[in-house]
Amino acid sequence: MPDPTQPSGVISDLEKNRALLDWLRWQVGQTERRVRELETQEAQERARRERARAEMSWKIQPQRSSSTALLHRGGCATYPDQVGLISREDAMVALAEPDIEPCEVCRPDTGLRG
DSSP 47-105: HHHHHHHHHT-EEEEPP-TTS-EEEEETT-TTS---TT-B-HHHHHHHHHSTTEEE-TT
Q: How far apart are CA 73 and CA 59, in angstroms?
A: 6
| pTM of the predicted structure, to 2 decimals | 0.58
Residue 83's pLDDT band, with cuts at 50, 70 and 90, is confident
pLDDT of residue 43: 97
- What mean pLDDT comes out for the span 46-65? 87
Count Cβ atoms below 10 Å from residue 113 Cβ, excluding itself. Answer: 9
pLDDT confidence bin for 51, thresholds 50/70/90: confident
Q: How confident is the model at residue 114 (pLDDT cuts 50, 70, 90)?
A: low
Question: Looking at residue 4, what is its pLDDT?
Answer: 66
pLDDT tens per residue, range 9-50? 789 999 999 999 999 999 999 999 999 999 999 999 999 998
CA–CA separation, 114 and 89 (whole Å): 13
Domain ranges of the chain: 11-55, 58-102
